[in-house]
Amino acid sequence: MAAKRGHAGTALGSDLSPRELRRVFGRFATGITVITVGRDEPRGMTANSFTSVSLTPPMILVCVMRDASMHAAILEHGSFAVSVLSDRQERVARHFADGSRPRGAAEFATVDSVPAPRTGAPVLPGSLAWFECGLAAVHDGGDHSIFLGQVLELGDGTDDDALLFFAGSYRRLEAPADWRDHTI
C-alpha cells in the first residue's frame, strides 16, 4: 500500500518528524495567550493552543504538554486563567515562553498582573481579553492534555491589535476600527 502524499509530495504517516510537524502546523496563524494558575505560588506559560468550545455552558480549552510544570499545576489547582495577548505584549509572551525564567511569585516580578476574582490566578492587564475557568474535564491529546475550562468570569481589555504566532515568529494583526460593532 502506497503512503498518502501531501500536495507538496510529503509522505503522510507515522514517520513524520516532530520538527516537520511543528513547521507545517506553524502555517496556521494563532493568537497568543498566557495561561496562569495559583494565588500564593502563581505559575504562567505562553500558549497558542486555545479556543472557545461552547457558549452554553461557556467553555474554552487549552492544550498543555504532559511534562510541562503547568500541567501538574492545573491539575492541582483545578482552575486556571487565560489572558489573550495584545500586540504590545510580545515581551510578556517571550517571558512566559523562556524556560530559564524564575518560578513562583518571582515569575511575575517583572510582569503586571492582578488576581482573577474567583480563583486568584493572575490575569494580565493590557490583554485583549481574559477568562477565569474551573477545570471541567481533561482529555488525552497524545503528548499533551486537553484541558476544558468552564468559564467562571471573563473580561475584555484594550482595543489594541492582536499578537499572533505564524511560521515561527510573532506577528501583529490590525483589527478594524469598528470591530466591536460586529457580531458573528
Q: How confident is the model at residue 182 (pLDDT cuts 50, 70, 90)?
A: low
Helix (H, G, I), strand (E, B) or coil at 91: helix
Place of cell 461557556: 58
Cα separation, 27 vs 14, whole angstroms: 20
Please report, for the chain, the start and end positions of each structural domain, with discontinuous segments joined by +: 29-169
Higher-pLDDT residue of 170, 115 = 115
pLDDT per position as a tens digit, 129-161: 999 999 999 999 999 999 999 999 999 988 888
- Judged against a pLDDT cut of 50, whether residue 125 lies above it is answered with yes
Q: What is the pTM of this model?
A: 0.84
Cα separation, 95 vs 115, whole angstroms: 19
Fold annotation for 29-169? Pnp Oxidase; Chain A (2.30.110)
* C-alpha angle 36-123-85 in degrees, rounded to nearest 5: 90
Residue whose C-alpha is closest to residue 49's, from 25, 67, 72, 69:
25
Residue whose C-alpha is closest to residue 45's, from 76, 8, 82:
82
pLDDT per position as a tens digit, 7-37: 454 445 567 888 888 888 777 778 899 999 9
